[in-house]
Structure 1
Amino acid sequence: MIHSVYIHIPFCHHICHYCDFTKFFYNEQMATDYLEALSNEINTQVDGTKNPVRTIFIGGGTPTSLNHTQLKTLLALIADKFDVAHCEEYTIEANPGDFDEEKAKLLKEFGVNRVSLGVQVFDDEMLEKLGRAHRIQDVYKTVNLLKQQSLTNISLDLIYSLPNQTAEHFAKTVSEALAFNLPHYSAYSLQIEPKTIFYNRYKKGQLHRPTQEEEVKMYDILKVKMKEAGIQQYEISNFAKSGFESKHNLTYWNNDYYYGFGAGASGYLPGKRTNNIKPIPAYIKQAMEDGNPTLKIESIGLKEKIEEELFLGLRKLSGIDKQKFLSEYGFPLELLYKSEIDYLIQKGWLVEEEKSIHLTDDGVLFGNEVFEHFLLEDEDLEAIALTKK
């Protein structure tokens, strides 16, 4: 079964200085053409109507940058193609200040039950330096507007290790975010990505980054403040009240299958990972021609699937379920990775319990180094095959 659907809306009214996602300045006619192409892609790739899925996620870009008519067209397309009424979690990304009452009512009418707000930081001056269009007061207005429509499952997204940011400054942002008493929070360390304004400034020596020690201190503050507020960490960058963990993101971390529609979107289907064309004019042209704007298909064999099972699963604080691994692959985790697990335990980066393995606090900080130990050679799987005979 395909568990989830990701739909990418690449338009923004402002381009943030750090963003490397597929995005384009909003243009009304281009957005209308894009939605027509998106409809053709979805209808070509998915048969029938009211297909059952566990989660739907509309991301961007900024999906709420669409005008009222376009947003209604998008939501109607999704409602026709997928069984929204029985969808466990239906999320849309949004920027504070992008909503009015009519848009909020549309979301409620078409079954959206979760909103992820890109707040980033509670500091107007820093928001401006990030290239963000909203200000702190917009966060309060938007949260109130959503709650008036009974859209209370709200996540606030934050960024830390920002240029010239101190640990004390970030602590204030976390405290103000927690004062909303919302069910979910995400917080990510700023990554300087190529083809962004920040990247160009960084290469010129014009961007002051906090030190690694300061970044670690910010992450510690985040974890402590969340725990004190009763918001439990369940993934490296995600925190939630019990029962409000992001079901859609858990699709990724559990290595389950999902559709990916729209410019630059990725999908994960049995045996393959797909990546769509990124440039919007090229995406529209191809999607309108044959409904198949795929740029690249990567075959996912047993080796790749197991590696991703470890890389993604270890992002969760619960880690890798040994019994689930055994049921999925037909052999125990230790048969393939015993020496690696033992080594990482000695390093203090991994803990092995009766039913699972998971990262320690230090392991989280050195996550990429941990994940490298779970890369496989073809000979590893050949040895397993011989053992099972």
Structure 2
Amino acid sequence: MVRGVYLHIPFCHQICNYCDFNKFFFHNQPVDEYIESLGKEMQLWEEQLKGAQIETIFIGGGTPTSLSESQLERLLNLIHQFLPMERVVEFSSEANPDELTFEKMQLMRQYGVNRLSMGVQTFDQDLLKVLGRTHSNEHVYGVIENAKKIDFPSISIDLMYGLPNQTMEQWQNSLQQAYSLNIPHISAYSLLVEPKTIFYNLMSKGKLSLPGEDLEADMYGYLLDEMKKQGYNQYEISNFAKEGKESRHNLIYWDNDEYIGLGAGAHGYANAIRYSNHGPLKKYMHMIDQNEKPIMMHKVVTSNEMMEEEMFLGLRKNVGVSIDRFNHRYSETIQNVYGKELEELQQKGFIIIENNHVKLTRRGRFVGNEVFQYFLQ
């Protein structure tokens, strides 16, 4: 059963040095036409959406807030026109601090957006320049203040650590400034240098100086300890929330449940099929004009692959993988399928079995990718 919808806005006024998402410089792009194509794609999913109990909608990018007010309003109108909104409890949008005006926020609230997710990444001005970010700390403070005035029920920021030449002191200062905002959700990710990014090109030339593994591990350990002190519950490897403010949309991914992905380069999982849309705008929009879903690749997920995904996605959550849910969902016991792996991981101290759930230990969280490999054949 489909639980969520993701919509991709692939436009940016500035391309960040670390970003590998499908994106295009805003200037001279067919932005208005693209928004209309998104509306037509929603219509193409009408049959599947009819019976769906959509709980969450997430507008991501790219940069959704790169849209003008009129473009943003058109997008929100189309969402209300074609998506079943009756059961939606979380309606999120990503945002850049220097593009999210008071008027855009008012517009979002008017159309039911109740969660903002802002890409802050760091509060160190020098590191912001290294990342290719264009906002300042003042932009962040202003947006948070305005969001509280407009009464956004949930506000989240993203932070990054393991950045080029980043020191522990810089990381600690960024976290302290994040806590001072008094917001209910913080995500914190280590930098991954992905192909087709500026950072990747620099690294391949030996021109990117990154903190070593030990310092990065120390940064993560500090993050875990400080978040707990500040009253944030870690509910996933990289995500921390005050009570009841967890990201319900992202939990759909980690619960290994189904969602529809709309837009150029978007990914989705529906009817036991994982798929991705064409990324180039012309190809995406041409297929929509032909009344075809713009799917580039699709794969039927086998029962074995579903079980693998249940494990490595579910273990990202602090609550872990429910043994009862696994056994019921796959008509197989988790011990029959992964008994040997679970025993070995327990002996290494990477997982525990507690309250009928398989969970990462604190030690296991530091080597999550190594743990996940145990469940991939």
TM interval, shorter chain, is over 0.9
What per-residue deviation string (whole Å, max 9, x for no partner) do you get for residues 267-300 of structure 1? Answer: 0012210100011222122222224110001110
1:261-272 equivalence runs, <5 A: 261-272=262-273
Q: Quick one: distance in 2 between partners of 1:45 and 1:185?
A: 33
1:354 CA drift (Å): 4.0
TM-score normalised by L of structure 2: 0.97
The question of whether the paired residues in 2 share the 8 Å contact of 1:50 and 1:81 is answered with no
Paired residue for 1:183? 184
- The aligned amino acid for 1:199 is Y
1:135 aligns to 2:128 (yes or no): no
Q: Quick one: distance in 2 between partners of 1:190 and 1:15?
A: 16
Paired residue for 1:17? 17
In structure 1, the residue corresponding to 2:30 is in which secondary structure?
helix
Paired residue for 1:83? 84
1:61-210 equivalence runs, <5 A: 61-210=62-211
In structure 1, the residue corresponding to 2:103 is in which secondary structure?
helix
In structure 2, the residue corresponding to 1:86 is in which secondary structure?
coil
Q: Quick one: distance in 2 between partners of 1:52 and 1:257?
A: 11
Paired residue for 1:256? 257
Q: Quick one: distance in 1 between partners of 2:254 and 2:213?
A: 26
Residue range with higher mean Cα deviation, 275-284 or 114-123: 275-284
Residue range with higher mean Cα deviation, 186-195 or 274-283: 274-283
- The aligned amino acid for 2:98 is G
Paired residue for 1:4? 4
The question of whether the paired residues in 2 share the 8 Å contact of 1:236 and 1:364 is answered with yes
1:243 aligns to 2:244 (yes or no): yes
Q: Quick one: distance in 1 between partners of 2:29 and 2:321?
A: 47
What per-residue deviation string (whole Å, max 9, x for no partner) do you get for residues 60-117 of structure 1? Answer: 0000100111100110111112233531100000010212222111101100000000
Paired residue for 1:224? 225
In structure 1, the residue corresponding to 2:2 is in which secondary structure?
coil
Q: Quick one: distance in 1 between partners of 2:217 and 2:336?
A: 34
The question of whether the paired residues in 2 share the 8 Å contact of 1:276 and 1:295 is answered with yes
1:51 CA drift (Å): 6.2
The question of whether the paired residues in 2 share the 8 Å contact of 1:49 and 1:80 is answered with no
In structure 2, the residue corresponding to 1:175 is in which secondary structure?
helix
Residue range with higher mean Cα deviation, 17-26 or 122-131: 122-131
The question of whether the paired residues in 2 share the 8 Å contact of 1:164 and 1:208 is answered with yes
1:29 CA drift (Å): 5.2
Paired residue for 1:381? none
Change (3 A) 1:242 1:122: same
- Aligned pair count reads 376
Gaps of 5+ in 1: 377-389
Q: Quick one: distance in 2 between partners of 1:363 and 1:52?
A: 35
- The aligned amino acid for 1:63 is P
Change (3 A) 1:362 1:208: same
Paired residue for 1:40? 40
The question of whether the paired residues in 2 share the 8 Å contact of 1:45 and 1:291 is answered with no
In structure 2, the residue corresponding to 1:260 is in which secondary structure?
strand
The question of whether the paired residues in 1 share the 8 Å contact of 2:57 and 2:249 is answered with yes
Q: Quick one: distance in 2 between partners of 1:251 and 1:260?
A: 13
Q: Quick one: distance in 1 between partners of 2:53 and 2:306?
A: 24
In structure 1, the residue corresponding to 2:221 is in which secondary structure?
helix
1:204 CA drift (Å): 0.9
Q: Quick one: distance in 2 between partners of 1:329 and 1:29?
A: 46
Change (3 A) 1:152 1:144: farther
- The aligned amino acid for 2:374 is H
1:213 CA drift (Å): 0.3
In structure 1, the residue corresponding to 2:200 is in which secondary structure?
helix
1:215 CA drift (Å): 0.2
Q: Quick one: distance in 1 between partners of 2:376 and 2:65?
A: 39
The question of whether the paired residues in 2 share the 8 Å contact of 1:37 and 1:291 is answered with no
1:366 aligns to 2:367 (yes or no): yes
What per-residue deviation string (whole Å, max 9, x for no partner) do you get for residues 230-274 of structure 1? Answer: 001010000001111100000000000100000110100122101
What per-residue deviation string (whole Å, max 9, x for no partner) do you get for residues 345-389 of structure 1? Answer: 11111111241111112211221221121124xxxxxxxxxxxxx
Paired residue for 2:309? 308
The question of whether the paired residues in 1 share the 8 Å contact of 2:194 and 2:200 is answered with yes
In structure 2, the residue corresponding to 1:318 is in which secondary structure?
coil
In structure 2, the residue corresponding to 1:290 is in which secondary structure?
coil
In structure 2, the residue corresponding to 1:309 is in which secondary structure?
helix
1:28 CA drift (Å): 6.1
The question of whether the paired residues in 1 share the 8 Å contact of 2:39 and 2:82 is answered with no
Paired residue for 2:235? 234
Paired residue for 1:386? none
1:46 CA drift (Å): 1.9
In structure 2, the residue corresponding to 1:4 is in which secondary structure?
strand
TM-score normalised by L of structure 1: 0.94
Change (3 A) 1:270 1:76: same
Gaps of 5+ in 2: none
1:50 CA drift (Å): 10
Q: Quick one: distance in 1 between partners of 2:329 and 2:316?
A: 19
Q: Quick one: distance in 2 between partners of 1:3 and 1:120?
A: 29
Percent identity over the alignment is 45
How big is the alpha-carbon RMSD for the aligned residues of Structure 1 and Structure 2? 1.4
- The aligned amino acid for 2:191 is L
